[in-house]
Amino acid sequence: MNAVDIINKKKNENLTYDEIKYMVDGYTNDSIPDYQMSAFLMTIYFKGLSLDETSWLTEIMVDSGDQIDLSFIDDVIVDKHSTGGVGDKVSLIITPIVASLGIPVAKMSGRGLGHTGGTVDKLEAIKGFKTELSDKEFEDNVKNVGVSIIGQSKNLVPADKKIYALRDVTGTVDSIPLIASSIMSKKIAGGADAIVLDIKVGSGAFMKSEERAEELANTMVSIGNKLKRKVVAILTRMDQPLGNEVGNLNEVQETIDVLTGKLKESDVIDVSVEVASQMVLLGNKADNIDKARQLVKDSISNGKAYDKFNEFITAQGGNMDSVTGNDNVKELVVKSDKRGYIEGFDTQDVGHATSLLGAGRLTKNDVIDPLAGITVKAKIGDEISKGDDLFVIRTNHDNADDSINILKNSVRISDSRDIVNKSPIIKIISS
């Protein structure tokens, strides 16, 4: 068996488990060079992978490193993954909700890069919050509190990490089988029995079209079936920022507004309720989705979700008094220069503008300013007049002109009255 023969075979026919394993293991242990793996990935990009091949690739990448042992949890382990977006604080909202309903949450989350934010960065906006815990601290918090979220510190799926870095520089990122196997390998290595996928669709998402997002969803659900995991995929809109806050402390504050019931209606509530309800259903805490949704809503209205959030934050060293501490940041207002109706956003540009303010990273070494962010003052379908507020910027940077210009150009304003803000839930796909 050799790399050239496998690459040539893939041009015309499907590979075996052993052939895929030979390529993945060989690249991970440096016996197969970059140029041969690049050719292999490009062949996959153009020829695709069968479901069996994609599932085998996922399983092989899972086996390439550590796997989280959650056997101490005597329950169904339900995890959640989002493909990333702007203002996406859903993980912060749903984890205390599902934990308050008796589903333990043991979650490893990542940091943001580019126009999307990361759950770890948002949690670290709370002063004192620790995202690095010992194994014992992590397990104790899951057992005693019901929830713990930490950074990705273990040697999980090193094959995927190395292959992804190569995909990033060889133009092979946008491949459904490679995307699906990358995401699913990390979730499975993280110990999940069941997984809810929030697949974002639109101008602020990696999946720009509904068709591509649905293809990705079906692939990941099918991988789950093959590898004996229950998977539900929810396609949600990312054609505008989710909720009204973008930026780390901003999003923590909006999370609290949701969990305390201060925020009553919002697209971020709709998405969070659906994701949490699917987790409750997979966790066997309700026998149908309507009952699951009612349990989720009750957890918010009776205060148990917010109590659990406080308990979780305190258990990991966070100071809840610090979440109101962005009053001293410079505030700038971006106003509309015309009247009309908000037709849409270039949501990726909104995320990029927020990163320029200091809220995100343009490179892996950039330092986050937890106080930087924006408030979105108008959403799709809203009527506005000339001079009305579109965004409120918070930043410690001396010059925010670039962000202001990007934000102004990110909004499309129409003269039409028939602009409709559609439901953020597009479709649910399950096994």
Report the catalytic residues: 81, 160, 167, 182, 186
Number of C-alpha atoms within 13 angstroms, CB side, residue 245? 21
Task: Give Cβ neighbours of residue 408 (< 8 Å, ≥ 6 apart).
Answer: 334, 337, 390
DSSP one-letter code for 101: T
Supply 120's token pair: 């770890």
DSSP one-letter code for 422: -
Q: Give the separation between CA 173 and CA 45, rounded to whole angstroms.
A: 9
Indicate the SS3 state at residue 211.
helix
How deeply is 301 buried, as exposed, middle or buried, from its count of CB atoms within 10 A (0-12, 13-18, 19+)? exposed
Q: Give the separation between CA 354 and CA 333, rounded to whole angstroms.
A: 14
Supply 116's token pair: 């999307």
Indicate the SS3 state at residue 240.
coil
Q: In b/e form, how buried is each residue of 253-273, taking b as 16+ CB within 10 angstroms?
A: bbbbbbbeeebeebbbbbbbb
Residue 66: which of 144, 156, 137, 143 has the closest Cα? 156
Quickly list DSSP for 383-397. EE-TT-EEEEEEES-
Note whether 68 and 190 are within 8 A (CB): yes
Note whether 368 and 122 are within 8 A (CB): no
Quickly list DSSP for 55-78. HHHHHHHHTTSB----TT--S--E
Supply 123's token pair: 């949690």
Task: Give Cβ neighbours of residue 138 (< 8 Å, ≥ 6 apart).
Answer: 106, 148, 150
Which H or E element spans position 365?
none
Note whether 354 and 246 are within 8 A (CB): yes
